[in-house]
Amino acid sequence: MRFYRQEIPDVVLVEPSVYGDSRGYFFETFRQDLFEDFLGYSVGFCQDNESKSSFGVLRGLHFQLPPYAQSKLVRVVKGKVLDVVVDIRKGSPYFGKHASVVLDSETKKQLFVPRGFAHGFVVLSEDAVFAYKVDNFYSLDCDRGLLFNDAALDIDWMLAEDQLKLSDKDKLQPNLSSLVRESLAFDYEVNLYE
């Protein structure tokens, strides 16, 4: 298992070692010891989630406010997606910047999204099964989002906007400047893992 920091260093690409032969394949999807050794801190995953979506479905950009902020370890079980994370930590040198990576069932790479980031993905294949671990439970009261096409974020979703399928909720999320104005951004200096 290998770990690669992305252009925003707190975001980590995880590349598992896949062992295959004529019978199929085997790989470890998660190794807590190796993962936390690389990160330098503990992440207590407590729940696994899975969704299935068709081509062009865009889910995001989502996050939860403290005390229910979540880290995610995301992967694609079937298909291919563009996965996007946006740094929403006030005071971060990367505030408002995003990182994106294509995740698919062929390479089996995963992305670690720390607390303090908005997260979303768009399906690039006919359909996709998307699975992820979270380190905090869902809270409706703390559920928030960021507008996927906010010009300030300048995200290339790899599909034309008329190909995208979003929920009504995701079409109406606030932009980054609203997030700042309403003091919903995370404090960069605060250790969100205590």
Lowest mean pLDDT among 21-25, 56-60, 75-79: 21-25
- How does residue 47 score in pLDDT terms, banded at 50, 70 and 90? very high
pTM above the 0.85 mark? yes
Instruction: Tell which wins on pLDDT, 40 or 189.
Output: 40
How does DSSP classify residue 161?
G
pLDDT value at position 181?
Answer: 78
HSE (CB half, 13 Å, CA atoms) of 4?
Answer: 11
Q: Per CATH, the architecture of 45-186 is what? A: Sandwich (2.60)
- Strands (E) across the chain are located at 2-5, 12-15, 19-21, 24-26, 47-54, 58-64, 72-78, 80-87, 89-90, 98-104, 110-113, 117-123, 127-134, 143-145, 186-187
**Average pLDDT, whole number, for the chain?**
93
pLDDT in tens, 143-188: 999 999 999 999 999 999 999 999 999 999 999 998 877 776 676 6
Percent of the chain with pLDDT over 90: 90
pLDDT value at position 182?
Answer: 76
pLDDT value at position 91?
Answer: 87
Domain locations in the chain?
45-186
Catalytic site positions:
62, 132
pLDDT value at position 161?
Answer: 93
pLDDT value at position 183?
Answer: 72
